Structure 1
Amino acid sequence: MNKFINNFEFVGHTYFYYDLNKVFDTYPALKKLPITLKLLLESNLRNARDSEFNTIIDTFISRNNYRQIDFYTSRVIMKDFSGIPALVDLASMREWAKNSNEDVEKINPQLMLDLVIDNSFDSSEKELNRNAQRYKFVKWAENNFKNISVIPPNSTNFNQVNLEYLSTMISAKNIDNKIYLFPESIVGTDSHSSMINALGIIGFKVGNIEVESTILGSNLTFNLPEVVGINISGSLVQGVSINDVSLALNNLLKDLDLKNKFIEFYGDALRNISIEDRVILSQISKDNNARCAYFIIDENTISFVEKTRGVDASLIKTYYEKQCIYNSSYELVYDENVSFDLSKVRPIISGPKRVEDKTSICNIPSKLDSFKNGNFVKDNDIVLSSISFNINNSDLSLLVQAGLIAKKAIALGMSINSNIKKVLYIQSTFHKMYLEKLDLLQYFEKLGFQINFENNIQDELVERVSLDIEKFNLNVSSLNFGKDDFSSINYKQIKSNWILSPALIIAYSLRGNMNIDITKEAIWADIYLSDIWPSIVEVNDQLEELDSSVYAELYKNIFEGNEYWQNIEYKKSSTYEWDEESTYIQGSKFTVKDEITSINIENAKILAILDDSISTEHLSPLGQIPSYSPAAVYLESKGLKPDEFNTFANRRGNAEIIERGTLSNIKLRNKMVLPKEGGYTKDFETGELLSIFEFAQNMKSENKNLVLFAGQNYGVGQSRDWAAKGTKLLGVNAVIAKSFDPIHKLNLIKMGILPLEFIDDDINTLSLKGNEIISIRSNMIITNSKINLEIKRESEIITITLQSTLDSNEEIMYYKNGGVLSYLLKGILTQE
């Protein structure tokens, strides 16, 4: 790759980079690759050994989707939900290193890790106790590990901080005293990690075990993705919001097979789509199973970076221009081409009975069939207009669009009937600051909206209206944004509840009823929707007025935290001193395993025999910790009462809880103890029924191996690292099933557990009871091998052949070394 190194001068500095243009000159076929594949190509070539170079080039030229490529991450971002357990593992590694006389200081994240603590802050005694335990540990980690930054609670929300503050778009590395630039790349464990695609950065969500591997310096591996190109054209018509665009995009994508594919948005109409709106479209694409939904870097991208960071982004622009990635004019070749014409998008409304019922707003009058009158209101009148912005629906353009329509309405002397209760909920202080900076908040107030920043305004109706509805049995309407639950008492009188964009809520409220086709008929005297509807250009112009001073104010104290956070004390030490009384933070019992060269699982007991489609929820529940469960007994021993148990999910930083929770689902059906359900098994030597945890502990004390049998699709459902981690903690050495969920199978391997598949047999043909003794042997550990399993029961010995699911050399390495974390830590400790 050295022959493709180039450099350029910028403001008196020389920057080096791996020049894709030089690659394209040598291999012209690569010039038409989609931008995302060019980014992956650069990354793979930059990190390749000489022997791998030709294979990589051939993979990208042939677009061979059966070949694997690597994804090299420059940064990891995590919420505390998944980030704290990862840091617990790192701290446990340090503890093991100390006890093994290894260099503790070598154990750090091998790349930048940003941990964002949940923005909500509950001051209840129960939550303060929980947070005290967790935050004490996090502050220790922040001050003892290298390459970690922590954003405390009440600073920002996860959805925004990566986009508006943390992302750098390019990364730099000092190699032989030369500064090399390369594209930023990100992974995280939250579904919003992929929002960064809106900035022209490849980033996506992966499982916790993959993230921990990445933190320890491993790269991700997956098949070369197919790329679907979506050409965005046209302009939005009046009445259309980004909500309508995202719904139209969802309808377009839902019939496509996008699993593990990349989406790449391009086209002339992109210039009118703000970064804030690109985020929404990227998330919709991710919701339709696309791995990545990438927007090509253009003027909007650079402008957004400059206004949010208060920097000159010329270096970023220059780098991507030199790589022919900035606003690419090449005719790129996609695996599939899709057209998305914005001019064909129409405003959509949900309701009036079910949220899932959607219709175009021009069809609303045809759905109205009752026209009774009261003294103050009549059928189809609007009596409640509720606009709610929280961290989950934070698209600023929607709020600006609504503010502009309110501003135009006030300028034309329009008002909203006092019979309509009007509330604007703004959960985020950021949105409040944005509206104040743009001087739009006053127009909501002038239209009679009660502005609620502290959730202390109720949705109760105007009293005379409420009495009128009851007396005349009227069918009135509520208009809502950010709310889809109408079961509260404040909605009991309202028969028609509609969900629509904030701007349309204001437009309909100005009219006062739902009786018209608002796209054609007058709203107020001779004023039509077209007279007050802001164009996308007007909205974007307003967003551009949010200059760097706003964001500087927002993020100036981002790492300081509130007074509670600042007053948390921790002990300075290279290893964490675990508090035995802590019920939220405990070490993960990490150990490094010696490398093995053969498989010898001798005289193992069977822990459970499970049926088909055992999900990760069965294996590792996240819900409330049940009374009388092993986890509950542990918590009671620490002095906790049942109302203090909390959930398994909130105690993921405590391996004692997760081990006791594994295979404890109350709906688990272990064939060894049927008809009894739940996390139980049988000790055939004593005849006792025991909890799975208790039996596993007994086997550990006797140094006996454990195996688990199952049917088809073992480990289906949402990927959960603790489903595999907890199984390992119980002492399970192998899982034998008819088939595995691919992700869970890989997680088992990465935890050092051997997944084996039946070939001709299964748990039914073998008539397994659970009292059998199992031995698994193989002199070699190689990919796709056949392995013998010996079953002893009474005087009978049966030997069957199983299929190993160790499918790659990488998986072989992980298994031989006791799991991926053990394997990677060995590499870190041997570094000079």
Structure 2
Amino acid sequence: MTAKFDPFGARDVFSTSEGDLGIYRIRKLQEAGLGDIDKLPFSIRILLESVLRNCDGYIVSEDDVKLLAGWNPANPVASEVPFMPARVVLQDFTGVPCVVDLAAMRSAMQRLGGDPAKINPLIPVDLVIDHSVQVDKFGTQQALEENVALEFHRNKERYEFLRWGQKSLKNFQAIPPNVGIVHQVNLEYLAKGVFLRQDEKGTVALPDSLVGTDSHTTMINGLGVVGWGVGGIEAEAVMLGQPIYMLTPQVVGFELTGKLGAGVTATDMVLTITQILRKEGVVGKFVEFFGPGVSHMSLADRATIANMAPEYGATMGFFPVDSETLNYMRRTGRTAGEVERVERYTKELGIFRTDEMAPNYTSLVRLDLSTVEPSLAGPKRPQDRVPLKSMQSEFKKSLVTSPNERGFGLAEADLARTAKVEDNGNSSTIGHGSVVIAAITSCTNTSNPSVMLAAGLLAQKAAAKGLTSKPYVKTSLAPGSRVVTDYLERAGLMDSLEKLGFNLVGYGCTTCIGNSGPLPDPVANAVTSGSLVASAVLSGNRNFEGRVNPHVKANYLASPPLVVAYALAGTVDIDLNNDPIGTSSDGESVYLKDIWPTNEEILETMEKAITPEMFQARYNSAYESNPNWNAINVPDSELYTWDGSSTYIQEPPFLDDVKETVDPIESISGARVLALLGDSVTTDHISPAGAIAKDSPAGKYLMEHGVEPVDFNSYGSRRGNDRIMHRGTFANIRIRNRLVPEKEGGWTKCFVNGETMTIFDAAEVYKTEGTPLVVIAGKEYGTGSSRDWAAKGTFMLGVKAVIASSFERIHRSNLIGMGVLPLEFPAGSSWETLGLTGEETFDIYLSDDLKPLQQVTVSAKNANGEVTTFDATVRIDTPVELDYYRNGGILQTVLLKLLKDAK
């Protein structure tokens, strides 16, 4: 938006080679005695610039500016900050439902008598199609071509719909499939560092900032860009001119000193930082990195750390702009004018970092990088770091550890189980820990040339010694952008990777999000028949249960070179520091240290192999680079023509009953528990993701509509169809509903008939009875990716409230955005300590004068008539969130506002 007035006299100009540009000087606030701006964390300064520039006395008030300018590091005032990002970034899994909702809003606007053309993004929106490619084919030169062909076959309807959006919606661009992963494309191309806008006085510069519909949007923090992941429904509100309302954040300063030692990768560093910050407790906070270690760190390494902010729980992992930022922009082909603008503007505004600058932080954490050691993380969570030297012993320990403590609960008698993989006359024996997937994948590491080239160099050394990957390992290489294969080829390393089976399978987010594709039948059969705890090793950021592949229980995050190493070893039940990784062609034992590249080799290869021209050549043609995409022909129309027979795109029911007058908030009475859950239930557990099982409600629905199992595709690819997503909510094969402790997966007990049935089927029974539902959970409910369908599906099941010990930030917000009430148990309490079993009937006492963070009474009556009463905190944190809840959700709120403004 453009500021209507400038109450603090902050608008000024500064000179560049492009001419004079406007700037809102935050130091004016220091001169006015409103705060010590020079001591604010850099991330807070950027938020402050936004509220200062957008101060209009209505959406952003003068008090908003004053409160943020006076940010107190020890105890920030718990006020809401209305943040107006410069742009929005989408990926196609989460972007499709965003565009579906915009199309549905256009249809609803027409039904209400308004102008559908009023529904458009009001700020730039970039969608990168990167989450739809699946690793069906691997280990051959044809894998890429065949996977891309399958991708377009499966996603024809989705891609036609996105092409309609590209043509019909203003301020909306789509980067076609097979270009790269959204976060790497954002880092290498979309991000500008500084954007230009027009206000009533001319052109004004502003910091690049964004929200994205993927939790790893934070990767851009490595470039000094403020941004984080939000749910799709939040992103839609931002697209439509609404600010992100957030409580003033605490900012944890993370001081980095020293340098990484020999043989230690950026992945090892980020897994260490993730473990430290998870233990520190930074959920809902900003983390800002500083210190001499930052100055010695490449921007790709910074981006690797920033990428993992969701894994350590922070809203952001921020690295301010400095000289390395400018160097990276030059190295990735940005123009001289763009780089000069970033340098001039950030220095003028006071957000250009030097080692001498020392902001005040809420708290401090420190790490000497020289103490980092080679590591993995797993087998079920990214914060559970395992030193490489302890990997074998820790894996063995996990086999016998209880599932409640993130183990596998095997009995001693089960530990020796093995199975034969019989494939075309060849036979291999596998056991617990056998690596059946080794994937170089995901944005975390494929954006970082140091670890990608390290993987190539290790492959080169291994191939030279005659080593090969084990035959039962599904190997894959899915780079984050085409530039990666350009520099691997220029360095002469692609051939070696291919010799070990790491052929190119696609440019996109594959194994890390569950698009690993099926295991070969002989391997899957062996894992199943032997009841084996098979393993995956992937260079990703997520390894939650059930995410990577339904046949794989132990999932370990690792650097790309370690992914290659474990493909050679074929098992995680090995001590790679002391045991041979294989036998050379001349019969000699080969150890990991024999093939591990030196830091000097990696640096020398980077300097020779990577040029700015590579980035310019690839991204200058990004929008037209896919002929299959260019060939999609759709009609121009303001309204999307919904096809009732489509199994990919359907008009969702969220706006079917929207009306101009809003009903008052009322109590929730006679609610039954749909699911009783423990701690750390992730959005992967809640939201439909991965493969669609044939015997699941979603699978049955597809077969009823003429879709054969071979064409099911993934839940993510069908996010534009609420009928599929509704049926897949809480259907994860690893979720544990305590109402049916004897079963694993999406099952529950239905109290209408006493039967055990799928959660979807039970919800349908309750719907027929007119019974509202609640979900009861433990700590950190909703941890993980910003999956809007975790909230949308919850709403569609008929859940009116979720009562948990604590919530992860994004999912709590998304629940409110769908009109579902988040409630927290009293501090120090849980459903266990209150003696709840989930078999009670719940009443939640609400009224139309509900306030943010209010205490409300909840009563739970068991079958004997005994009542447990407790006060729960309404986790609606701001008045704006209360408006969303009152109106039934964000979409309804925005639609009614646009309708009112048009009349």
Normalising by the smaller structure, the TM-score range is 0.7 to 0.9
Q: Does 1:659 align with 2:723?
A: no
2:51 to 44, 56, 59: 44
Corresponding residue number in structure 2 for 1:432: 485
1:534 to 594, 600, 625: 600
Q: How does 1:244-263 map to 2 (within 5 A)?
A: 244-246=268-270, 249=273, 253=277, 255-263=279-287
CA distance in 1 between partners of 2:79 and 2:861 (Å): 42
Q: 1:797 to 1:600 in 2, by over 3 A?
A: farther
Corresponding residue number in structure 2 for 1:546: 611
Q: Deviations over 1:19-51 (max 9, x none)?
A: 023223333622111211211222233333234
Corresponding residue number in structure 1 for 2:424: none
Corresponding residue number in structure 2 for 1:381: none
Q: Does 1:178 align with 2:243?
A: no
CA distance in 1 between partners of 2:677 and 2:463 (Å): 59
C-alpha contact 1:29 1:61 (8 A) present in aligned 2: no
Q: Offset of 1:625 from its aligned partner?
A: 3.9
Q: Deviations over 1:432-460 (max 9, x none)?
A: 322455xx328x9799988964579xxxx
Q: Offset of 1:187 from its aligned partner?
A: 1.9
CA distance in 2 between partners of 1:139 and 1:823 (Å): 27
**TM-score calculated relative to the size of structure 1:** 0.75
Corresponding residue number in structure 2 for 1:815: 885
Partner of 2:37, secondary structure, is helix
1:8 to 14, 31, 49: 14
C-alpha contact 1:607 1:692 (8 A) present in aligned 2: no
Q: Deviations over 1:574-603 (max 9, x none)?
A: 11112222112111123234443633469x
C-alpha contact 2:240 2:894 (8 A) present in aligned 1: yes
Which sits farther off after the overlay, 588-597 or 550-559?
588-597
1:326 to 338, 352, 366: 352
Q: How does 1:198-213 map to 2 (within 5 A)?
A: 198-213=222-237
1:678 to 747, 766, 771: 747
CA distance in 2 between partners of 1:480 and 1:617 (Å): 23
1:84 to 82, 86, 96: 96
- Extract unaligned runs of 5+ from structure 1: 362-385, 410-414, 457-478, 524-528
Corresponding residue number in structure 1 for 2:534: none
Q: Deviations over 1:199-225 (max 9, x none)?
A: 111122233333233233332233333
C-alpha contact 2:688 2:789 (8 A) present in aligned 1: no
Corresponding residue number in structure 2 for 1:95: 107
Q: How does 1:497-576 map to 2 (within 5 A)?
A: 498=576, 534=600, 541-542=607-608, 546-547=611-612, 549-576=613-640
C-alpha contact 1:107 1:829 (8 A) present in aligned 2: no
C-alpha contact 1:631 1:657 (8 A) present in aligned 2: yes
Q: 1:516 to 1:774 in 2, by over 3 A?
A: closer
Q: Which amino acid in the other structure matches residue 640 of structure 2?
A: Y
Corresponding residue number in structure 1 for 2:898: 828
Q: Offset of 1:248 from its aligned partner?
A: 5.4
Q: Offset of 1:421 from its aligned partner?
A: 5.4
Q: Does 1:292 align with 2:345?
A: no
Q: Which amino acid in the other structure matches residue 350 of structure 2?
A: C
Q: Offset of 1:146 from its aligned partner?
A: 1.2
Q: How does 1:109-188 map to 2 (within 5 A)?
A: 109-118=121-130, 120=133, 123=146, 127-188=151-212
C-alpha contact 2:219 2:307 (8 A) present in aligned 1: yes
2:646 to 575, 582, 601: 582
Q: How does 1:310-709 map to 2 (within 5 A)?
A: 310-312=334-336, 313-328=339-354, 329-342=356-369, 344-345=370-371, 348=374, 356-359=386-389, 390-392=441-443, 393-394=445-446, 395-399=448-452, 418-420=465-467, 427-428=478-479, 429-437=482-490, 440-441=491-492, 453-454=503-504, 481-482=560-561, 484=563, 491=569, 498=576, 534=600, 541-542=607-608, 546-547=611-612, 549-591=613-655, 592-596=658-662, 598-600=664-666, 606=671, 608=673, 610-613=675-678, 615=681, 620-622=687-689, 624-627=691-694, 629-662=696-729, 678=747, 681=750, 705-709=770-774
Partner of 2:14, secondary structure, is strand
Q: Offset of 1:311 from its aligned partner?
A: 0.7
Corresponding residue number in structure 1 for 2:533: none
Q: Deviations over 1:780-811 (max 9, x none)?
A: 444466778899999x9999897572553223
Which sits farther off after the overlay, 667-676 or 238-247?
667-676
Which sits farther off after the overlay, 593-602 or 390-399?
593-602
C-alpha contact 1:715 1:745 (8 A) present in aligned 2: no
CA distance in 1 between partners of 2:476 and 2:62 (Å): 58
CA distance in 2 between partners of 1:406 and 1:792 (Å): 63
CA distance in 2 between partners of 1:205 and 1:589 (Å): 25
CA distance in 2 between partners of 1:251 and 1:494 (Å): 21
Q: Which amino acid in the other structure matches residue 40 of structure 2?
A: L
Count of residue pairs brought into register by the alignment: 750
Q: Deviations over 1:102-133 (max 9, x none)?
A: 11011112322211112737757875443101
**TM-score calculated relative to the size of structure 2:** 0.70
Identity, in percent, stands at: 28
Q: Offset of 1:6 from its aligned partner?
A: 1.2
Q: Offset of 1:181 from its aligned partner?
A: 1.2
- Extract unaligned runs of 5+ from structure 2: 1-6, 55-59, 137-145, 392-436, 507-557
Q: CA RMSD in A?
A: 5.1
Q: Which amino acid in the other structure matches residue 37 of structure 2?
A: L
Q: Which amino acid in the other structure matches residue 224 of structure 1?
A: T
Q: Which amino acid in the other structure matches residue 713 of structure 1?
A: G
Partner of 1:325, secondary structure, is coil
Q: 1:360 to 1:147 in 2, by over 3 A?
A: same
CA distance in 2 between partners of 1:601 and 1:293 (Å): 40
Structure with higher Rg: it is: 1
Q: Does 1:24 align with 2:24?
A: no
